[in-house]
C-alpha cells in the first residue's frame, strides 16, 4: 500500500501543520497496511479558506460546465477502479471481488446518479410573478465512514459539487487510501483548485474543527448515532445545516405468505453483506411464530454456505471485520445474546476454524430473540442475525418500529398489496419489498435517531442547495 502523509488543499498535496502519524491496520493480517498523518485544526482552517475562495467563482458556473466536469470525473474514476478496490480490500478487509464491484463500483453509480440529477434539475421555478431560485449553500464539510468508504464519499461529494459548492472531505482514518485516490481522480479531472479539499484526521480533532468552524455552511456526516450527536452539538452555535446518516437496526418482516425458501437466504445475505458492517443491514428477521423452526433451518443452511477467509481469495464471500475494536464489539454482543437466553442457531463466539489471525468473526444466527434483548435493540455492526417471532401483523409492525432507529426495512410477501400496506406503517427512510436491486436514484436516509436529510437522487442534490425567493422578478424576461 502507498502511504498518503499529506492533505489535499487548494489543488495540491501539502504537509499537515503539526499532525501526528497514524498507522492503518490490515484487518486480515493485523499488520500495518499504510501510514498517514492526522490533520489539525490549522489544516482545517487552510482548507476552509481555500474552499471559501473557490466558492466565489465555482458557485457561478453554469449547469453545463458542472455537467462537463462530472463527466470528466467519471472518465478518470473508471481508470482508477482497480486501485480503489485494492485499497479497500487492504484497509478494511473486504473480499477483492466485492471491493471491485459493490464497493468501488458504487462510486461510479453515484457519479452517474449525480450527473443525471443535475442534467434534469431546474434551479429556477416561476411562481406567479415571483421566482424561486435554488443556489449552492457554500462551503460544505463531509465526514465519511470506514465501512463503505467510496460509496459514502461519492454519495456526498458528487451532488455537493454538482450543486456548485466547495467541499472539504474528512474520510475515516481507518480507510484513507481510497479517499486519497479519489482526490487524485478529481485532480486529474481538472476540478478547480479549492473546490475539493481533503484533510485526514480523527473526529475529536478534524471532525470537531469542521463542525464548529464559522465559515463552514453545512456539514454532512455518515457514522454512528453518537458521532452524529457530537457533530450536531458542535455545529449548533454557528447554526449551520447538519445532515446525518447514522445508525440502524433494520427489520425484515416475513409475512405469512412469503416465499420462505427464497426470502430467508436472501435476508441472511442482506444482513451479512459487508460482514454485517452496514448501517441499513436488516439484522432483525421477523417471522410468524409457527414458521420459526423452518426459518431456523433455512438460515442455518444459508450461513453454512458462506466462505469466511482471506479477502484475496476469489472464493471468499466474507472477510474479516474492519478493526480490532469492531471485532471485540461483535464478540461482546454475541456473548450478550447467549447470556440473555437467545437460542443459538449457528456461529457463536470466537474466530472460524482455521483462522487464528485477523479480525474474523463466525456468522451467527440467534433465534427466539425477545424485543427487549440488547441484540434486538443495539446496532452490532457484524454478522449477527436476530430471528424474532410474531403472532399477528400488528405485532410485527410494532416490533419493526420498536427501536430508536429508522433507516431501512424489508418486507417479504407474495401479495404486493399486503407488503405495501405493511411498508406504509414502518417508520424508516427506505423499505425494500422482496429484495429489489439497489437503486442509487431512490432517496436514502433515516427517521428518528438514524438521522435526517437524504442522499441519492434528486433529494441528494437538493440537500446541498439553499432556497431563495425573488419577489417581482420576471423569470421569462431574464431567462
pLDDT in tens, 225-263: 999 999 999 999 999 999 999 999 999 999 999 999 999
Say which residues have a Cβ less than 8 Å from residue 380's Cβ, sequence separation at least 6: 276, 283, 329, 330, 333
pLDDT of 153: 98
Q: Which among 245, 379, 455, 463 is annotated as catalytic?
A: 245
Q: What is the per-residue DSSP string for 359-424?
A: S----EEEES--TTSHHHHS---SSEEEEEEESSHHHHHHHHH-SSEESEEEEE-S-HHHHHHHHH
Q: Does residue 245 carry a catalytic annotation?
A: yes
Contacts of 338 (CB under 8 A, 6+ apart): 344, 348, 349
Burial of 478 (0-12, 13-18, 19+ CB in 10 A): exposed
Beta bridge partners of 168: 141, 197
Q: What stretches in the chain show pLDDT beneath 70?
A: 473-479
The string of pLDDT tens digits covering residues 444-467 is: 999 999 999 999 999 999 999 999
DSSP 444: B
Q: H or E segment at 247?
A: none
Cα–Cα nearest to 175, from 141, 152, 205? 152
pLDDT at position 19? 83
Per-residue DSSP letter, 437: P
346 is catalytic: no
Ramachandran region, residue 341 (left: φ > 0; alpha: ψ -120 to 50; beta: rest)? left
Facing residues of 169 across strands? Answer: 142, 198
Which residues partner with 18 through β-bridges?
A: none
Q: How long a stretch of residues is the chain? A: 479
Cα gap 21→273, rounded to integer Å: 32
User: Which triple of cell numbers denotes residue 272?
Assistant: 451479512
- What is the set of domains in the chain, with CATH numbers? 7-246+450-478 (3.40.605.10), 251-433 (3.40.309.10)
Catalytic residue among 86, 205, 279, 379: 279
Amino acid at each position: 500500500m502507498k502511504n498518503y502523509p499529506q492533505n489535499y488543499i487548494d489543488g495540491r498535496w501539502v504537509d499537515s501543520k503539526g499532525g501526528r502519524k497514524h498507522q492503518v491496520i490490515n484487518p486480515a493480517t493485523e499488520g500495518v497496511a499504510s501510514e498517514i498523518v492526522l490533520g489539525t485544526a490549522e489544516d482545517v482552517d487552510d482548507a476552509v479558506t481555500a474552499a471559501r475562495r473557490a466558492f466565489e467563482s465555482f458557485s457561478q458556473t453554469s449547469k453545463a460546465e458542472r455537467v462537463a466536469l462530472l463527466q470528466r470525473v467519471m472518465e478518470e474514476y473508471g481508470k482508477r477502479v482497480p486501485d480503489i478496490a485494492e485499497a479497500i480490500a487492504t484497509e478494511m478487509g473486504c473480499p477483492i471481488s466485492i471491493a471491485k464491484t459493490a464497493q468501488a463500483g458504487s462510486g461510479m453509480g453515484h457519479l452517474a446518479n449525480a450527473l443525471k440529477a443535475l442534467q434534469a434539475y431546474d434551479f429556477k421555478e416561476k411562481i406567479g410573478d415571483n421566482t424561486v431560485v435554488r443556489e449552492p449553500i457554500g462551503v460544505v464539510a463531509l465526514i465519511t465512514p470506514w465501512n463503505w468508504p467510496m460509496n459514502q464519499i461519492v454519495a456526498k461529494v458528487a451532488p455537493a459539487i454538482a450543486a456548485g459548492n466547495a467541499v472539504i472531505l474528512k474520510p475515516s482514518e481507518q480507510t484513507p487510501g481510497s479517499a486519497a485516490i479519489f482526490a487524485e481522480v478529481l485532480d486529474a479531472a481538472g476540478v478547480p483548485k479549492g473546490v475539493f479539499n481533503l484533510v485526514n484526521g480523527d473526529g475529536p480533532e478534524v471532525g470537531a474543527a469542521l463542525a464548529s468552524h464559522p465559515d463552514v455552511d453545512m456539514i454532512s456526516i455518515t457514522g454512528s448515532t453518537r458521532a452524529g450527536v457530537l457533530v450536531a452539538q458542535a455545529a449548533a452555535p454557528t447554526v449551520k445545516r447538519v445532515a446525518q446518516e447514522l445508525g440502524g437496526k433494520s427489520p425484515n418482516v416475513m409475512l405469512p405468505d412469503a416465499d420462505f425458501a427464497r426470502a430467508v437466504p436472501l435476508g441472511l445475505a442482506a444482513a451479512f453483506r459487508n460482514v454485517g458492517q452496514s448501517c441499513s443491514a436488516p439484522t432483525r428477521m421477523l417471522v410468524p411464530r409457527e414458521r420459526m423452526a423452518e426459518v431456523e433451518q433455512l438460515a442455518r443452511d444459508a450461513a453454512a454456505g458462506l466462505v469466511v477467509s482471506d479477502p484475496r481469495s476469489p472464493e471468499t464471500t466474507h472477510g474479516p471485520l474492519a478493526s480490532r475494536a469492531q471485532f471485540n464489539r461483535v464478540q461482546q454482543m454475541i456473548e450478550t445474546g447467549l447470556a440473555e437466553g437467545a437460542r443459538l442457531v449457528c456461529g457463536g463466539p470466537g474466530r472460524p476454524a482455521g483462522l487464528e489471525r485477523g479480525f474474523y468473526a463466525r456468522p451467527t444466527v440467534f433465534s427466539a430473540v425477545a424485543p427487549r434483548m440488547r441484540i434486538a435493540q443495539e446496532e452490532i455492526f457484524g454478522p449477527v442475525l436476530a430471528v424474532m417471532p410474531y403472532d399477528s401483523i400488528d405485532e410485527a409492525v410494532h416490533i419493526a418500529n420498536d427501536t430508536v432507529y429508522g433507516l431501512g426495512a424489508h418486507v417479504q410477501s407474495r401479495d404486493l398489496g399486503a407488503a405495501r400496506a405493511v411498508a406504509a406503517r414502518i417508520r424508516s427512510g427506505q423499505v425494500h419489498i422482496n429484495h429489489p436491486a439497489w437503486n442509487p436514484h431512490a432517496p436514502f436516509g433515516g427517521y428518528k435517531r438514524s438521522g435526517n436529510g437524504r442522499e441519492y437522487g434528486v433529494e441528494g442534490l437538493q440537500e446541498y442547495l439553499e432556497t431563495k425567493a425573488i419577489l417581482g422578478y420576471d423569470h421569462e424576461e431574464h431567462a
